[in-house]
Amino acid sequence: MSKGKDYKMSFSTGGLFLNESLEITRLYAESGSWDEAILRARREGATTLPKAASNQRTVREITNRLRMLSEDERDFLIETANRADQQALLWLATCRAYRFMREFALEVLRERYLSYQLDLPRESFDQLFEAKAEWHEDLAAIKVSTRAKLQQVAFRIMREAGILSDTNRIQTAILSGRLKAMITDQNPSELALFPGIPFNGG
């Protein structure tokens, strides 16, 4: 097994957090400081979570995802992106922030879409998890109850991002020409994270 914390699995609460992400991105744009954005988000109630500890963890997790976006991507997110592009950008940020989610998108979502297996069973999460856990101690150490929560939240994120339907069917992604161009300019292989979006080389 490999050593070290290769996988960050801290997405076990909430979901895509679209509205909260927009607000925190705006706060960051105003101050230019993530620390200031975090403080203001907690003070001004950017999330609706009742407990202070939960609020703090959620704000920091959202911020960690938003840091994965470029300045141009963040500006687009809050200035001109439509709802579908906002969902897509936050899905992209999620895949960049969490290696497991990125690998799930590429190894499960994409492969099932290409083979016309559009129904996504929840067991597909467990199967990939178990395969990765054989080689990564950090995954192998995760409790069964925690893994069940991760699975639940992962499916919620995908539904809220428009990747899955309410009945857990993989949906063709809808990206504007501008967003596709932005991703292509930065890393065209990331288009593979979106079911049904072609890219050069795959």
What is the average per-residue pLDDT within 146-158?
95
Residues 120, 144: one domain? yes
Q: How far apart are CA 27 and CA 39, in angstroms?
A: 10
Contacts with 33 (C-beta within 8 Å, 6 or more apart), sequence order: none
Work out the percent of the chain whose per-residue pLDDT is above 70: 92
Average pLDDT, the chain: 90
How many residues does the structure list for the chain? 202
Give yes or no for residue 1 having a pLDDT over 50.
no
The pLDDT value given to residue 77: 98
**Helices 52-66 & 83-97 angle (0-180, nearest 10):** 90
Residue 151 in any domain: the answer is yes
- Judgement on whether residues 134 and 181 belong to the same structural domain of the protein: yes
**Does 145 lie in the same domain as 55?**
no
Which residue in the block uniquely carries the two structure tokens 């190894």? 107
Average pLDDT (37-57) is: 72
Domain residues for 24? 14-67
Do residues 179 and 98 both lie within one domain? yes
Instruction: Say whether both 142 and 115 belong to one domain.
Output: yes
Say what the pLDDT of residue 7 is: 78
Residues 50 and 106 in one domain: no
Q: What are the tens digits of pLDDT across the range 87-145?
A: 999 999 999 999 999 999 999 999 999 999 999 999 999 999 999 989 888 888 999 99
Instruction: Count how many domains the chain has.
Output: 2
pTM of the predicted structure, to 2 decimals = 0.92
Whether 201 and 146 share a structural domain: yes
Taking a C-beta distance cutoff of 8 angstroms, is the pair 68, 97 a contact? yes
- Which residues sit opposite 119 in a β-bridge? 169
pLDDT at position 10:
80
| Average pLDDT for 68-74 | 96
Would 108 be classed as within a structural domain?
yes
- What percentage of the chain has pLDDT greater than the value 90? 74
* Domain annotation covers residue 2: no
60 with 114, same domain? no
Highest mean pLDDT, choosing among 32-36, 144-148, 162-166: 162-166
Angle at 169 between CA 200 and CA 68, to 5 degrees: 50
Residue 3 pLDDT greater than 80, yes or no:
no
Q: Give me the pLDDT at residue 18, please.
A: 94
Regarding predicted confidence, which is higher, 10 or 84?
A: 84
Q: Is residue 154 part of a domain?
A: yes
